[in-house]
Amino acid sequence: MREQLEAAVAGVEALAGEAESLPLGDASVDCITVAQAFHWFDYERALPELARTIRPRGRLAIIWNLRDDNDPLVAAVNEVIAPFLPPEQGVERPWREPLEAFNAFGEIEERTFDFEQLLDTAGLVDRVASISWIARLDQARRVEVLEQIRELGSARAAPFAFPYVTRVFLAERVA
C-alpha cells in the first residue's frame, strides 16, 4: 500500500509503522485516519499511542465501508458469504467501547455517505475474493463461493452498481 501511495502521489513520504508504535513525534499530527482496520488494533497499546501523536483538538477518524444490503445484488452476495462470516465480524463496532472508555478522546461523532462501485462480473468476483475471510477459505470452498458470485454478476448487464454506505466516526483529542 505504501508503494502504491508513493507511486500515485509525487513527493509523499509514507512511513512504516503500526498503531501500537507510530514513527511520529508527540502531538505532531492534526488527524490520524484508520480505514477498515481499527478492529485489528491492540486497544490497550494503540489508543495511548494515537493520543500521544494527535495534537489536542486534533481528530481520530475511523472509516468503514459497508455493503448496502438494501440493494438486491448486495443482499444476494451477503447471503452467499454469510456462512463464512467470522464471529467477531458480526459484532457491531467492537472498537467503540474501548475508545469511549479511553479518556483522551471526546464524544464520537458519526457521519454517513452513500457511494457506488461500478463493476462487471469479474470485478464483483475480485471484490468478494479480496474479503480476508473469503480469501482464507480452503481452495475448493473458495472456488465454489466465487462461482456463486460469478453467477450473480453474470445475471446483470455490465457495468452494474454495487452500493456501499461509508460510515465515518470522528473523535476529538482532548487536552
Extract the C-alpha cell encoding 72: 438486491
Task: Kindly report the three-state secondary structure assignment for every residue of 129-167.
Answer: HCCHHHHCCCHHHHHHHHHHHHHHHHCCCCCEEEEEEEE
Strands 54-67 and 160-173, bridge-based pairing: antiparallel
Domain boundaries, the chain: 2-173
Task: Kindly report the three-state secondary structure assignment for every residue of 8-74.
Answer: HCCCCCCCCCECCECCCCCCCEEEEEEECCHHHCCHHHHHHHHHHHEEEEEEEEEEEEEECCCCHHH
**Chain mean pLDDT for the chain:** 92
pLDDT (0 to 100) of residue 134: 94
Min mean pLDDT across 33-42, 52-61, 67-76, 98-107 is at: 33-42
What percent of the chain has pLDDT above 90? 75
Mean pLDDT value of segment 122-142: 95
Mean pLDDT value of segment 19-48: 94
pLDDT (0 to 100) of residue 60: 97
Tell me: pLDDT of 29 over 90.
yes
pLDDT (0 to 100) of residue 57: 97
CATH fold label, 2-173: Rossmann fold (3.40.50)
Place of cell 465454489: 144
pLDDT (0 to 100) of residue 70: 95
Which pLDDT band holds residue 4 (cuts at 50, 70, 90)?
confident
pLDDT (0 to 100) of residue 92: 53
pLDDT (0 to 100) of residue 96: 87
